[in-house]
Structure 1
């Protein structure tokens, strides 16, 4: 497989986001978005996905973190899609059931070419510190749509919102890692009966 890396930048009147990603990394993450809890979650995603990930975001945080978090999801999704190239030889599917204390989260990924999120996570409070808990879903909507992956995230158990959200990011990282992993038995073929992903 060729060098599976990408760098994508996106600037709007609300945000300026740059993401660099290496799919075959060691989980080295350098995230600076101005949203501390979100940086922590990006670190969890990258470390458990073994993605080398650099995220720089400057957003209209005087409004709230919504645009910054959503646009980071858009740009990271685009970078993942670009790094995957033609998707030949990848495993395509990945899943993880991840425990984090009382929280238990299922994440499943299909690198399908059809970006969509299916989210069944009931967060018990509106804020984690000063992070709006609803933004976790917004991030994953943007990520799945722009990476062109089908992503299922389901909470199986949980009481603490921090634990549940962090389990979501870690589980998605693990599932994504599995899905983009080269499959030596595929010998460069596309993992589909359609002939295209």
Structure 2
């Protein structure tokens, strides 16, 4: 299990991650809906994640959410690379009532994010105490620090709670599949390293 501490003027975060866990976690960011999303990620990825974030919530949730993405991405990088004997590519579509979101991942050590919510329109506002636009900030920080190429896109949906929950769950499912062991693959690249 990898552990990391991030201490800045904006946030203090302590976290640990076991990528082949049981889907258990202790989550406390002081942003209720975000905690709920990280719990959904933990459950459906089957990873064990403990994370405590003390952030400058008197400003807003931006630093807390983005820095949690940095920390989780950094933990994933430490746990995964160098890559060997995993599927590498993963895809998952999740439906939440009227909403459907797909996430596609390449664990390639080349960071890139496509975050396409065009089917919704203006992806702004709040769900509970969570600023919706921070969803993209979280996944950008995670992808850049983990070295993942990720495409997350909304196929359909109207309810923002359902859409965001489907985003986190589809990411969890795609990541779990990409990290599936496959001894026959060896290093999953024609380059011989990732």
2:186 is aligned with 1:193: no
Q: CA deviation at 1:8?
A: 1.4
Aligned to 2:183: 184
Task: Map 1:99-110 to 2 at 5 A.
Answer: 99-110=95-106
**TM alignment of 1:55-70, pairs within 5 A:** 55-70=51-66
Secondary structure of the structure 2 residue equivalent to 1:54: strand
Equivalent position of 1:128 in the other structure: 127
Structure 2 regions of 5+ residues with no counterpart? Answer: none
Secondary structure of the equivalent of 2:163? helix
Given that 2:76 and 2:146 are in contact with CA atoms closer than 8 Å, whether structure 1 keeps it comes out as: yes
Q: After TM superposition, give the deviation of residue 83 of structure 1 in Å.
A: 0.7
- CA deviations 1:57-97 (Å, max 9, x no partner) are 11000000000000000000000010113111111000011
What is the TM-score of this pair, normalised by structure 2? Answer: 0.95
Aligned pair count reads 191
C-alpha distance in 1 between matches for 2:123 and 2:145: 28
Aligned-residue CA RMSD (Å): 1.1
Q: Partner residue of 1:47?
A: 43
What are structure 1's unaligned runs of at least 5 residues? none
Assess if the C-alpha contact under 8 Å between 2:69 and 2:142 holds in 1.
Answer: yes
Kept in 2: contact 1:104–1:155 (CA 8 A) = yes
The answer to whether the 8 Å contact 2:6/2:71 transfers is yes
Deviations 1:5-44 (A, max 9, x none): 3111111110011221111111002100111110000001
Matched, 1:154 2:153: yes
Which residue, out of 2, 12, 20, partners 1:6? 2
Partner of 1:173: 172
Q: TM-score, normalised by structure 1?
A: 0.94
Q: Does 1:98 align with 2:94?
A: yes
How many angstroms apart in 1 are the aligned matches of 2:46 and 2:33? Answer: 20
Within 2, Cα distance between the matches of 1:125 and 1:79? 29
Distance 2:50 2:3 in 1: 9
Contact 1:124 1:159 in 2 (8 A): no
User: What residue is the counterpart of 1:113 in the other structure?
Assistant: 109
Q: Shift of residue 125 of structure 1?
A: 4.7
Aligned partners of 1:106, 1:74: CA distance in 2, in Å?
Answer: 22
